Amino acid sequence: MTASDKKHQSEKANKRVCLGRIAAPHGVKGLVKILPYGEDPYLLEDLSPIYTDKSKDDTVRAIKLKNQMGKYILAEIEGCNTREQSDALKGIELWVDRDALPEIEDEGEFYIEDLIGLTANNENGDTIGNICAVQNFGAGDLLEIKPKSGSTFFVPFKDDFIVDINLDDGIIALKNYEIFIIS
């Protein structure tokens, strides 16, 4: 294992990934509606512990998913038996340690959290800045890039702008990004 691999593994182990948010109580018996953020909402049930904060060790009890309700999933949380208890959980995000997630086998697929912190280079290898966040305001994922100087700017996470992503080296190569820089 190279020094770069060790650094990447260490950074990955220290990250948490948000898998969803408790959106609302449901009924009078303590059930909640969860808005899942990933492709596999059942990770909320399969992985533990589930944290209620990105950096603290506050955890929720076991989550048992019931059924799909449109974009939400109905869930039971251990020890939550009344509407008042489930109402108190409204808005809480559900986090898991990054290293607890299954490895992605498909090339070209990534956990969004793994893109944050990558160095953004142009096609010539010159550094543009760093990926400080990945946002989605409803029209698709956007890489938020903090340049060496100036304000952050957004580049769509699409093939038209991405040349290469190398997680091992911590680099993402971009093209045609200049049109998004506001002077």
pTM above 0.75, yes or no: no
User: Do the bridges between strand 119-121 and strand 93-97 make them parallel or antiparallel, or are there none, so unpaired?
Assistant: unpaired
Query: Is pLDDT of 8 > 70?
Result: no
Note the CATH number of domain 112-180: 2.30.30.240
Span 16-31, pLDDT tens digits: 888 999 999 999 999 9
As a whole number of angstroms, the distance between CA 34 and CA 73 comes to: 5
As a whole number of angstroms, the distance between CA 4 and CA 114 comes to: 14
Query: Is pLDDT of 10 > 60?
Result: no
- Topology of the domain covering 16-99: Elongation Factor Tu (Ef-tu); domain 3 (2.40.30)
Query: Is pLDDT of 138 > 90?
Result: no
Residue type for position 1? M
What band does 14 get if pLDDT is binned at 50, 70 and 90?
A: low
Span 77-114, pLDDT tens digits: 988 999 999 999 999 999 888 888 888 887 777 888 88
Q: Which residues contact 75 (CB under 8 A, 6 or more apart)?
A: 31, 32, 33, 34, 44, 63, 64, 65, 66
Domain-wise residue ranges, the chain: 16-99, 112-180
